[in-house]
Amino acid sequence: MSIEVKSVEQNGNYKIQVSGQVDLYTSPNLRKAIMEAVDKSNTSIIIQLSTVEYMDSSGVATLVEGLRSAMKQKKSFKLSTPSPAVRKVLNLARLESVFTIIESNEE
């Protein structure tokens, strides 16, 4: 498996650290972690994406699904420090403005 997903809970909120390549094969792992975090979190979920080497539309769809689920539950959903690969696919899919993007020192 070419992906690593670590979920860290702090004061009822969740930070998910993603590393490696996110594609059709690996995105179900990310989806599981995100949807669990959205359901369990008190108010906020941060997805740390600085060490993602590659992401395709399966990964983007997973992030969109997480965002939509968080919005329904009135929780905040942010992407932290997306790597150039993540920024590229968000840009190609015209979704950069849809997500709240923060830099790591803002977390």
Partner 1 sequence: MRDDLKITFRSHPKLLKPIRALIKNYLDVVGFSKDRIDDIVLGLDEACTNCIRHAYHNSRSGIIQLTARLGTVWLEFEIQDCGACPPKNFLDRKEVAPLQPTTIKPHGLGLIILKRAFEEIQFNVDNDGRNCLILRTRRKGFKKG
Q: Which residues bind partner 1 (CB under 8 A)?
A: 2, 21, 23-25, 54, 56-58, 60-62, 64-65, 67-68, 71, 85, 88-89, 92-95, 97-98
With contact defined as beta carbons under 8 Å apart, do 16 and 37 qualify?
yes
CB of 102 to partner 1, least distance (A): 17
Q: How far is the CB of 1 from partner 1 (least distance, A)?
A: 9
Q: For residues 12 and 91, which CB has a smaller minimum distance to partner 1 in the complex?
A: 91
Distance CA 20, CA 36 (A): 20
- What is the closest distance, in whole angstroms, from the C-beta atom of residue 2 to partner 1 in the complex? 6
Q: Are 53 and 21 in contact (CB under 8 A)?
A: yes
Number of H helices, E strands in the chain: 3, 5
Contact 18, 7 (CB under 8 A): no
C-beta of 33 vs 60, nearer to partner 1? 60
